[in-house]
């Protein structure tokens, strides 16, 4: 059977999108997962508004990463195919003219998932004038390719018991990764040529699954992260009794993260009253866990059934729309009616409120001059 050329959806903003991959090394700490690795090595992908709108497109994954990710999967897909996904970004394109003090969004993928699975979200944010940065959390990811040709494979398949303590280590360790990445991007010598000036008071974060739960850990550990969103990830009890008074968005599957759905939803219900800033709890009908990432729309193109009643492309459209509106509202002071008129263009989305608890339009960020 011929495999069609897989493509990602076109970004919706006015800017062309540039991208680059950057190697970072935190020499201040050893790797938390592999005992004989003395430093924490990370790869990040950066998407940004670019001047170029033609030319070769960036590769989605390397051949080695594609083969490693698909190894052992019971799907009729050749091992190279994820390296052939057509993206929309131009590698190392020059920054678009007249852009300064751009807001920054950090993206953290699900457990075992490479940072590339958040490409559609990163590209769309960049097309609207954001800088988006996705992190490979090394050894938690199926495969991370370094510039020198090494490939760090997933290292937690044996010898790690998936206890609550394990998952807390995942989320708090990711929070340290995020803070280190912010240190590098906001420092005097940014780690890539042609880097734009970033606005240090306009930083947000979103993550999927374990990356979504890690967003809370990162916000609690780093006040530079002004707003955050958890996409389809159950959380640990990390928020202190004093609460978290920065804007926060829960976005997940209906049937898994609606109040009363079970243990995963219960973690959101536990955290909800501790979020004292602007907050929303939204669920999407017909979605599955991968639907909020590129994996949902790519599975549709490959003919791999995920059991989703709503297509991967449709769920990705919803995810991009709501995340962008959330960041626009709280990092750019652009008011949106999207969160109060949920049944217009997005009938799959509904708001959930735990019993006897307010929606949450409490303290938000200081208003900025246009």
Which pLDDT tens digit goes with each residue over 47-58?
A: 999 997 778 999
Most confident of 156-160, 235-239, 250-254: 250-254
Q: Are the beta carbons of 127 and 17 closer than 8 angstroms?
A: yes
Distance CA 27, CA 14 (A): 39
Query: In angstroms, what CA-CA distances link 178 with 40, 137, 222, 225?
Result: 12, 9, 9, 10
- Average pLDDT on 231-247 reads 95
Q: Given a cut of 50, is residue 369 above it in pLDDT?
A: no
The pLDDT, as a whole number, for residue 368 is 37
Q: Are the beta carbons of 203 and 179 closer than 8 angstroms?
A: no
Q: Are the beta carbons of 204 and 226 closer than 8 angstroms?
A: yes
For strand 198-208 and strand 227-231, is the pairing parallel, antiparallel, or unpaired? parallel
Return the CA Rg of the chain. 19
Q: Are the beta carbons of 87 and 9 closer than 8 angstroms?
A: no
Q: Given a cut of 60, is residue 82 above it in pLDDT?
A: yes
The pLDDT, as a whole number, for residue 120 is 98
What residues have CB less than 8 Å from 271, skipping those under 6 apart? 216, 235, 237, 239
Q: Given a cut of 80, is residue 9 above it in pLDDT?
A: yes
What is the Cα 114 distance to its own chain's centre?
11
For strand 102-108 and strand 131-136, is the pairing parallel, antiparallel, or unpaired? parallel
99-154 per-position pLDDT tens digit? 889 999 999 999 999 999 999 999 999 999 999 999 999 999 988 999 999 999 99
Structure tokens at 311: 């297509």
Distance CA 86, CA 5 (A): 7
Q: Given a cut of 70, is residue 95 above it in pLDDT?
A: yes
Q: Are the beta carbons of 342 and 349 closer than 8 angstroms?
A: yes
243-257 per-position pLDDT tens digit? 999 999 999 999 999
What residues have CB less than 8 Å from 319, skipping those under 6 apart? 121, 231, 251, 284, 292
* Least confident segment among 4-18, 254-268, 352-366: 352-366
Q: Are the beta carbons of 207 and 136 closer than 8 angstroms?
A: no
Query: In angstroms, what CA-CA distances link 120 with 8, 137, 144, 252?
Result: 6, 19, 19, 17
- Average pLDDT on 92-105 reads 91
| In the chain, % of residues over pLDDT 90 | 72
Higher pLDDT, 363 or 166: 166
| In the chain, % of residues over pLDDT 70 | 92
The pLDDT, as a whole number, for residue 74 is 62
Q: Given a cut of 60, is residue 265 above it in pLDDT?
A: yes
Which of the four pLDDT bands, split at 50, 70 and 90, describes residue 357?
Answer: low
25-43 per-position pLDDT tens digit? 999 999 999 999 999 999 9
The pLDDT, as a whole number, for residue 73 is 66
- Average pLDDT on 254-283 reads 95
Distance CA 166, CA 170 (A): 6
The pLDDT, as a whole number, for residue 241 is 94
For strand 102-108 and strand 198-208, is the pairing parallel, antiparallel, or unpaired? parallel
Which of the four pLDDT bands, split at 50, 70 and 90, describes residue 313?
Answer: very high
The pLDDT, as a whole number, for residue 142 is 87
Q: Round the average pLDDT of the chain to a whole number and report it.
A: 90
Higher pLDDT, 265 or 77: 265
Q: Tell me which architecture the domain covering 16-351 has in CATH.
A: 3-Layer(aba) Sandwich (3.40)
Phi-psi region of 41 (alpha: psi -120 to 50; beta: other; left: phi over 0): beta
């Amino acid at each position: 059977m011929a495999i069609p050329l897989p493509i990602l959806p076109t970004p919706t903003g006015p800017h062309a999108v540039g991208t680059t991959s950057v190697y970072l090394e935190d020499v201040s700490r050893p790797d938390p997962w592999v005992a004989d690795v003395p430093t924490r090595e990370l790869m990040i992908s950066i998407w940004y508004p670019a001047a170029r709108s033609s030319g070769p497109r960036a590769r989605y994954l390397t051949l080695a990463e594609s083969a490693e990710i698909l190894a052992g999967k019971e799907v009729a897909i050749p091992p190279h195919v994820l390296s052939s996904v057509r993206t929309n970004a131009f590698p190392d394109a020059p920054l678009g003219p007249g852009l300064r003090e751009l807001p920054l969004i950090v993206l953290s993928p699900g457990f075992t998932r490479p940072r590339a699975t958040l490409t559609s979200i990163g590209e769309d944010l960049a097309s609207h004038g954001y800088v988006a940065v996705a992190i490979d959390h090394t050894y938690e990811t199926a495969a991370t390719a370094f510039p020198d040709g090494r490939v760090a494979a997933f290292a937690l398949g044996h010898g790690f018991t998936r206890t609550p303590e394990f998952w807390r280590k995942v989320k708090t360790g990711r929070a340290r990764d995020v803070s280190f990445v912010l240190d590098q991007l906001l420092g005097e010598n940014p780690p890539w040529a042609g880097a734009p000036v970033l606005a240090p008071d306009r930083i947000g974060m979103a993550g999927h699954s374990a990356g979504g739960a890690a967003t809370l850990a990162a916000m609690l550990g780093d006040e530079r992260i002004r707003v955050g969103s958890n996409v389809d990830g159950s959380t640990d009890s990390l928020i202190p009794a004093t609460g978290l008074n920065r804007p926060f968005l829960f976005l997940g599957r209906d049937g898994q993260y609606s109040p009363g759905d079970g243990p995963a939803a219960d973690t959101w219900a536990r955290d909800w009253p501790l979020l004292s800033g602007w907050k929303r709890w939204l669920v999407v009908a017909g979605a599955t866990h991968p639907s909020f990432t590129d994996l949902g729309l790519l599975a549709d193109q490959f003919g791999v059934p995920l059991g989703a009643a709503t297509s991967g492309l449709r769920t990705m459209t919803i995810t991009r729309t709501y995340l962008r509106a959330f960041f626009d509202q709280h990092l750019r002071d652009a008011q949106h009616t999207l969160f109060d008129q949920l049944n217009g263009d997005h009938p799959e989305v509904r708001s959930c409120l735990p019993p006897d608890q307010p929606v949450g339009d409490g303290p938000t960020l200081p208003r900025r001059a246009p």
